Chains A and B, each alone.
Chain A
Amino acid sequence: MDARLRRVNKEIADCKNDKTSNIRIDLVDSSPFHLKGSFPGPEDTPYQGGHFEVDIVIPDSYPFQPVKMKFLTKVYHPNVSSASGAICLDILKDAWSPVLTLKSTLISLQSLLCSPEPNDPQDAEVAKHYTTSKRSFEETAVYWTKTYATPPAGAADTRDEVAIAGLEAAHVDQFEQLGFPRAKVIDVLRRLNYRGANVAQITDDRIVEELLK
């Protein structure tokens, strides 16, 4: 049997037998080389209570090349693309080692959620939010966790787009009243990182200018 297949099968089995780690690996389709990993959000973080799913693709030369992983669940985290779920983590790139397993890599992702690295960001906007106001960032991350990562996911229409964007409802309302579409206002304020101390530094004119673009 193919060495890669043998190893992956073994890893899946090991993971299933291990009841303590809370890491799950499931098949996506009939191929054992395309998997779905999942783990609970770490406690005492904005991700607590969430259930995070990761898309796993095993490359041909595994384990001599890193597995490809990205979040399927939307995560608000400086090292995870809020749009694509792409992950910035060294062991998924040049720090990969063949002794790493699917399980240990997933555990690394779990701990990445505990300790964001805004200096090596995957999502620059989120990283800016984090550095600007950690409290505001965390509120948004909690909101995302609740919205996207909590099993009985809130129905789409009850989602608060403002909270998802990590903004203040009052700010959005203010510009919406000027006659701009709400979605556009959210988009611009998010891009400009209109949060915390930044609010004082960004003039209304600048925002209107953006809104008019």
Chain B
Amino acid sequence: MKVTVKHWHAVAQWRWDTGAAEPEGPDAENEDVCGICRVPYEGCCPSCKMPGDDCPLIWGECTHVFHMHCLLKWIGTPASKQQCPMDRRTWVTAERKVATA
């Protein structure tokens, strides 16, 4: 017998490729959240309504990842001293993975 797939309507979820090892299961607990708003990366930051390209992530040279809008809001406050909230090093956005909107 030969099985030929003519058309496959499949269903998938998209995930941000944060480089971190992915937790098992589609809705595993302890999933990665943005350290600033505590909302999962695949959710959207408090000021957005649409996840994904409309509410992208931002990667720092320090490898820390946040919702872009959350990080920019933090960097915008004088208290931040332009530092990464995680390690207090000066924030430098990593080149490689700025989402192309």
Contacts and interface: CB of A to CB of B under 8 A. Distances in A.
Q: How large is the interface on A (under 10, 10 to 19, 20 to 34, 35 or more residues)?
A: 10 to 19
Given A3-B47, A11-B38, A64 B74 contact: yes
Contacts of B37: 3, 7, 63
Contact of B85 (A3, A61, A94, A97): A97
- Chain A binding surface SS class: loop
A96 B38 contact: no
Nearest to B45: A3
A95 B39 CA distance: 23
A3 B46 contact: yes
Interface of A: 3, 6-7, 10-11, 61, 63-65, 94-99, 101
Interface in B29-52: 35-39, 45-47
A98 B85 contact: yes
A65 B74 CA distance: 9
B15 to A, nearest CB: 21
Interface size class of B (residues with CB under 8 A): 10 to 19
A7 B35 CA distance: 10
Contact of A65 (B79, B85, B86): B79
Given A96-B79, A98-B85, A64 B73 contact: yes
Contacts of A7: 37-38, 46
B88 A63 contact: no
20 contacts: A3-B37, A3-B46, A6-B38, A6-B39, A6-B46, A10-B38, A63-B36, A63-B37, A64-B74, A94-B79, A95-B88, A96-B79, A97-B83, A97-B86, A97-B88, A98-B36, A98-B74, A99-B35, A99-B36, A99-B86
